[in-house]
Amino acid sequence: MLKVYGTSMSRAGRALWAAEELGLKFEHVPVGLDGSTRKPEHLRLNPNGHIPVIDDDGTIVWESMAINLYLAEKYGKAPFWPSSPADRARAYQWSFWGMTETEPHLIAVFRNRMMLPKEQRDEQAATNALESLKAPLKVLDEHLKGRPHLLGPDYTVADLNVASVLLLAPMIGVNLSEVPAAQAWLEKCLARPAAQKIGGYK
């Protein structure tokens, strides 16, 4: 049976979302951010000491986007896992875009407005990150005008992966009203039953 290691309040949430979206039977092992990832038993799974990690009947995979693309390829069917090489390339493209173009800025805002102790927060860093988010969000918004989903008419793993990054935006007060197509798309993705179910995990 598939095992998913990590708390849902971390990047492991996107792996849990993928497993739910695919209708997989799995065991959730809620390894937290309390130092337990540095224990020998966890380091045997991921020597980097991070979450998420999956154990799929002996296949160990870490890095959240790699996990989701693996699960989609192994267990998904079209349209969730695109059937053409061109659309699979676009799924990779948008997944990596989410990680490289938006997540660092979102994390900077999160750290400096919510996560760090107040005396360690840097409001200028948060402001700069919000400014840096405007360009990639505009790219997403322009792409989604006239499209219900990232690759066209159907919801795919690309939508799940990018939405799993951008779900931080409303949580940390990012104003998405200037990118209405992206905002509507994100709300639609986060309203999916599989996404909603992740709130029940710890």
Q: What is the mean pLDDT of residues 44-62?
A: 97
Burial of 42 (C-beta count, 10 Å sphere; 0-12/13-18/19+) = buried
Give start and end residues of each alpha helix (H) in 7-148: 12-21, 40-43, 64-75, 85-97, 103-110, 123-144
pLDDT bucket at 54, cuts 50 / 70 / 90: very high
- pLDDT tops 90 at residue 201: no
Residue type, 48: N
pLDDT bucket at 202, cuts 50 / 70 / 90: confident
- pLDDT tops 80 at residue 110: yes
| Interval 21-38: pLDDT, tens | 999 999 999 997 677 898
Would you state the pLDDT for residue 32? 78
**CATH code reported for the domain at 85-197:** 1.20.1050.10
- pLDDT tops 70 at residue 85: yes
pTM of the model: 0.96
CATH class entry, domain 2-76: alpha beta
- Ordered by start, the domain boundaries in the chain are 2-76, 85-197
CA separation for the pair 149, 69 (Å, rounded): 17
Backbone angles phi, psi at 56, to 5 degrees: -105, 85
| Interval 143-154: pLDDT, tens | 999 999 999 999
Would you state the pLDDT for residue 36? 85
The mean predicted confidence, pLDDT, of the chain is 96
